Chain A
Amino acid sequence: SQQGEEDPQALSIQEGENATMNCSYKTSINNLQWYRQNSGRGLVHLILIRSNEREKHSGRLRVTLDTSKKSSSLLITASRAADTASYFCATATIYNQGGKLIFGQGTELSVKP
């Protein structure tokens, strides 16, 4: 079963606009991570937010975490065509052994020039 559910499944925006993707999960977590996957490539780690953190920034990325609602959001500001990719959230559950991550199904982001 999937721990993370992402919304929307697909998002199309114009360059310069902001993109927001959401992730909901079911069980308690140690941390939540976001990854990017360009077409035909492996996933690239973007950012990790721990369960005791509420917000984290990295460049144009802003991640929030609401453990009471079991949800997270990824905001990409001032998007660029190069941001076109699939974005996945992944959770490390609280009873996790071996650093395992459970991935959501992803959001396909298309940024049009």
Chain B
Amino acid sequence: NAGVTQTPKFRVLKTGQSMTLLCAQDMNHEYMYWYRQDPGMGLRLIHYSVGEGTTAKGEVPDGYNVSRLKKQNFLLGLESAAPSQTSVYFCASSRRGTNYGYTFGSGTRLTVV
């Protein structure tokens, strides 16, 4: 099993450009999440999904959009990138319910110049 796969692994964007980060999981997990990790800030939740066709806002959703058209995929979009969105983005998935751990992808390092 591949687990959680994120593409791309690295990307440099110019301010104002758009892009989509793809997360794919092959574990049949119901829940999926997008976090960003910044130095000294830990991980902060951007958006999450509790099932196909559903999405919800997390702690820092501004400037991002998401879609979950298929259960195995969770897409994170930046419509107009800003330097403040320079970060490492992590996707994670988990089984339905509260008492399960997350499986994380290996991350996407995004730089906005």
Contacts and interface: CB of A to CB of B under 8 A. Distances in A.
A and B associate in one complex? yes
Interface of A: 2, 4, 30-31, 33, 35, 40-45, 48, 50, 88, 92, 96-106
Interface in B65-113: 90, 92, 94, 96-107
Contacts of A43: 43, 90, 92, 102, 104
Interface of B: 4, 31, 33, 35, 40-45, 48-50, 56, 58, 90, 92, 94, 96-107
Given A98-B48, A100-B33, A100-B48, A30 B98 contact: yes
A99 B45 contact: no
A98 B50 contact: yes
Contacts of B31: 98-99
A103 B107 contact: no
Contacts of A4: 42
A105 B58 contact: no
Among A2, A35, A42, A102: residue with most chain B CB under 10 A:
A42
Contacts of A2: 42
